[in-house]
A and B are shown apart, each in its own frame.
Chain A
Amino acid sequence: MTATEPSEQTTQTTTPLMTLSAVSQVFRTKRGPIKAVDDVSLSINPGEVLCLVGESGSGKTTAARMAAGLTRPTGGTVAYEGRDIWSMAKPDFRRFRRSVQYVHQDPYASLNPTKPLSKVLTAPMLKHRLVKGSKAAMARAEDLLREVDLTPPENFITKFPHQLSGGQRQRASVARALTLGPKIIIADESTSMLDVSIRISMLSMLGKLRDDLGVGFLFITHDLAIAKYFGWRGKTAVMYLGRVVEFGPTPQIINAPQHPYTRALIDAIPEPDPDLSHGKGGSALRSMDIPSLLALPTGCTFNPRCPRFEEGLCDVAVPELTDVRPGHSTACHVVARETRGG
């Protein structure tokens, strides 16, 4: 990416760039411990897209923060290029933090309102000594603005965040994430605050980065239609109350979802066609409200809402992720029984 960065070939195609192995995150609160993420294992290969899908409170952001090294997991390990990030030496950890960049949900809150884009973009490069001198930094900043389609760059580089629209701000946030030449971008609901029409152009721009620069993505969204559009060639993990309940190639998750929760998420999306959506009827879920993490249901945590709930099966044991076909796994007792030959 950047001229000064030595070309590193530490990754082979066989080892994933980043691995989360059985990570958990328990928050201690006055009302008791909250297990926000429970035993989650995920990996991202170079240039690959991994979509993390689920409702608010499903632990998507907590998992992403652990992947970015922003919070230390209370259990399990996060490895970058095969090495545990929390036992790395300082320079290595710093290099890891450079390689994994976070784009937040709210572009109104994530950019410093007192700094023009020129400062927002050059400061990280100068701080990490990736460029020599402010002139080179400015030239690089302009390149980055072009990369995120804020053209011509001279119209934008002097602007303050309040002078930009929501979509432009989010592009600026992406440009900032690119300043350090990341290998992975964690995009946390990066398009959910944007207008529908802007969302698609934003996603195309991110897709271009993925294809042209080979940047891998951990793409977080609550909308499976968006995951489908951005992560079609990648994989999707569906999270519910801190656990991964379904994982597989995105086309299979969308077109042949196995877990009742994934199905509910797909069914909930309104279609841009009245013939399809008017016939849809109400949701099949037995309850609309997500249980509190402080008082999780016994057995499968989805059981109080699940349309396929079976007493004596689903409320007893927590289901493990099991393969329904190679590369596609789901954590559901009922589906597992059928797969075994029901």
Chain B
Amino acid sequence: MIDQPGFDLRGGDEDPILSVRDLHVYYRTGAGTSVEAVRGASFDLYPSESLALVGESGCGKTTLGLGLLRLLPRLGSATGEVSFRRGDRTVNVLDLRGRSLRRFRWRDAAMVFQGAQSAFNPVMTIRAHMTDTMRAHGRVNRRLVEERAAELLRVVRLEPKRVLNSYPHELSGGMRQRVLIAMSLLLDPQVLVLDEPTTALDILTQRSVVDVLHEVRDRLGFAMIFISHDLALAAELADRVATMYAGRIIETGNVRDIFHRPRHPYTLGLIKAVPPVVGDLPDMESIPGGPPSFAALPTGCSFHPRCKFATAECEQIDPLLEPVVDEGASEHEVACLHSDEVHLDRRLPDVPTRPTTGEPTTGESEGPQR
């Protein structure tokens, strides 16, 4: 495969930090009835790797994230296996109870939820939020707690003095999102799950959050799962991508394989739905319709009613996730009967067409100006 720093997935033959096998999540919907919102997901997450979970709203991405961290609401339940490697021991997260579950949450794995506004208590300062978290997990030395909080705030490019004394409403959306990221890292978790970390933020604020995520990951080396409907964000932040549809992972692979050689019509559709900003106006295509309701999934491949490659077979057979044959050693897997027919016919223009914003001092720009 393409050898380039930054795309090396493993950094050696290390074991996964988190290993998910056949995870199912059910929500009870009434007496004796339930829907299955995650339908047998399996994947591995390696230390300091970044995995993007992409798909439209209602595909089960958030449910999968909540299921991994045992944060499902009361009506939800999970089966399967989620193995977390804690030093040289492995624990099944789904079996954890009491103190050991508390330890897992936040110290082993933390989550940044969608909607930075609602994650705070409006009558508590940021300092109180941070010290409360530390205290709840047994870190009581005032000075050490304060130091750790200030250090993390600086990592996410905030001014600790000002921010610690602020109330949530005094901060902008982007600042709140960065405070949440800092808070989730207080106890130095090995795994961080971020749910739509940039949705509803302004473009420049999105950029600052993305830059901050790159930076903290470089410094602290945790593994990251981030959930997004925006494929462009995945292209930017992920080492590996898993596409979800109707509660299943239907394609997974190295970020380059996914973006340059997508093999599932749904992944292809998601990529084509992002208008690229460089170059001339592209032909855009949208995926017709919306994701199906979990209460009434189509027969066969759940994507077939929206798929332009679908044939009669697709209404019968629900394909399994299988390695893409003609790509050699890559770990590209896809669940589609017609994966050989799927090709991305659009390649983005080469990098140099991008306006020369990198060197602002040269003052070069195209156009008749001299």
A complexed with B: yes
- By a beta-carbon cutoff of 8 Å, the part of chain A in contact with chain B is 55-56, 165-167, 192-193, 195-201, 203-204, 222-226, 228-229, 232, 251, 254-258, 260, 263-285, 288-290, 307-308, 324-325, 334-335, 338-339, 341-342
CB distance from B171 to the nearest CB of A (A): 10
A197-B273, A266-B355, A272-B259 known; A282 vs B211 contact (CB < 8 Å): yes
A196-B230, A229-B284 known; A274 vs B256 contact (CB < 8 Å): yes
Find chain A residues with CB under 8 A from B354 CB. Answer: 276
Decide if B278 touches A271 in the complex (CB within 8 Å). Answer: yes
Decide if B276 touches A283 in the complex (CB within 8 Å). Answer: no
Decide if B360 touches A201 in the complex (CB within 8 Å). Answer: no
Decide if A285 touches B204 in the complex (CB within 8 Å). Answer: yes
Sample of 14 A–B contacts (CB below 8 Å): A55-B203, A195-B229, A198-B286, A225-B275, A256-B365, A257-B355, A271-B348, A274-B238, A274-B255, A277-B232, A280-B236, A284-B358, A308-B361, A324-B369
Chain B CB within 10 A, most for which of A203, A257, A266: A266
Across the interface, A197 reaches (CB within 8 A) one of B287, B368, B369, namely B287
CB distance from A15 to the nearest CB of B (A): 29
The list of the 5 closest CB pairs from A to B, nearest first, reads A268-B207, A201-B286, A270-B232, A272-B274, A200-B286
Interface of B is mostly: loop
Across the interface, B235 reaches (CB within 8 A) one of A223, A270, A325, A341, namely A270
Q: How far apart sit A90 and B49, CA to CA, in the bound complex (Å)? A: 64
Q: How far apart sit A193 and B230, CA to CA, in the bound complex (Å)? A: 12
Find chain B residues with CB under 8 A from A272 CB. Answer: 231-232, 235, 259, 271, 274, 276, 348
Q: How many residues of B contact A (CB 8 A)?
A: 65
Decide if B236 touches A277 in the complex (CB within 8 Å). Answer: yes
CB distance from A104 to the nearest CB of B (A): 15
Decide if B203 touches A223 in the complex (CB within 8 Å). Answer: yes
Decide if A264 touches B235 in the complex (CB within 8 Å). Answer: no
Q: How far apart sit A224 and B354, CA to CA, in the bound complex (Å)? A: 14
Decide if B367 touches A256 in the complex (CB within 8 Å). Answer: yes
Across the interface, B351 reaches (CB within 8 A) one of A56, A279, A334, namely A279
CB distance from A244 to the nearest CB of B (A): 18
CB distance from A307 to the nearest CB of B (A): 4
Across the interface, B281 reaches (CB within 8 A) one of A229, A264, A271, namely A229
A167-B290, A264-B204, A283-B204 known; A271 vs B284 contact (CB < 8 Å): no
Find chain B residues with CB under 8 A from A308 CB. Answer: 360-361, 363
Decide if B270 touches A196 in the complex (CB within 8 Å). Answer: yes
Decide if B276 touches A195 in the complex (CB within 8 Å). Answer: no
Chain A CB within 10 A, most for which of B206, B233, B281, B286: B286
B209 (CB) vs chain A CBs: closest residue: A288
Q: For the complex, is B366 an interface residue (Cβ under 8 Å from A)?
A: yes
Find chain A residues with CB under 8 A from B206 CB. Answer: 268, 270
Across the interface, A288 reaches (CB within 8 A) one of B204, B255, B271, B285, namely B204
Question: Would you give the 0/1 interface string for B342-357, flagging 1 where the beta carbon is closer than 8 Å to chain A?
Answer: 0000001001001101
B238 (CB) vs chain A CBs: closest residue: A274
